[in-house]
Amino acid sequence: MAKTVCLAFTGASGMPYGLRLLDCLLQQGCRVQLLYSQVAQIVARQEMALELPARPKEAQAFLRERFASAPGTLEVFGREEWFAPVASGSNPPDAMIVCPCTMGTLAAIAQGLASNLIERAADVALKEGRRLILVPRETPLSVIHLENMLRLARAGAVILPPAPGFYHHPESIDDLVDFVVARVLDQIGVTHTLMARWGAESEADSQDNR
């Protein structure tokens, strides 16, 4: 059975990570329940010249066409859509990812707040023992930020800052984005071929050794 993943975009810088992650999840046949904040729409416009529709149904049609997803693999829910499956512990997703994650959203989740559907869905993921991945994009980090991250890590969340490595010799921004997205996918057990595994013999090396 395909994984059901709740993916949330918030207003931190890093929208390329979120959209690439959405693309990869759909490519791997995951059912994605997408949420995004109003500020995330502004960030998408500023960073990627992408106009995310405000109405969930319009956004769903737009993104299904953009990523050529099969019917039923992508659902978009509004910020106040309290009857969405992700709002209840009786129907939680297998995992939830907030990418990118603002420090405001991270703080709200750490305090157990649920003033919008993103915060409520994260609260549900934690209380139901489902995988919760937060990808916070901020620097430098204050003591408040660090204490909130520690509190969430102790509660079972995974804090995964988008900090790409360079040992794979990236040649483009896309390579750096894929590095981070690969780490997120690994955390929820979704297969990918975004980059070679550390210590794995490359196909070229394997051919040379024959």
Tell whether residue 183 is among the known ligand binding residues: yes
Tell whether residue 37 is among the known ligand binding residues: yes
Tokens, residue 182:
């690969």
Interior/surface letters 115-146, b for 16+ CB within 10 angstroms, e for the rest: ebbbbbbbbbbbeeebbbbbbbbbeeeeeebe
Distance CA 150, CA 153 (A): 5
Tell whether residue 1 is among the known ligand binding residues: no
Tell whether residue 115 is among the known ligand binding residues: no
Tell whether residue 199 is among the known ligand binding residues: no
Tell whether residue 13 is among the known ligand binding residues: yes
Distance CA 41, CA 46 (A): 9
Tell whether residue 105 is among the known ligand binding residues: yes
Tell whether residue 11 is among the known ligand binding residues: yes
Tell whether residue 17 is among the known ligand binding residues: no
Distance CA 155, CA 127 (A): 9
Q: Which residues are annotated as a binding site for dimethylallyl phosphate?
A: 167, 183
Q: Which residues are annotated as a binding site?
A: 11-13, 37, 102-105, 137, 167, 183
Q: Which residues are annotated as a binding site for FMN?
A: 11-13, 37, 102-105, 137
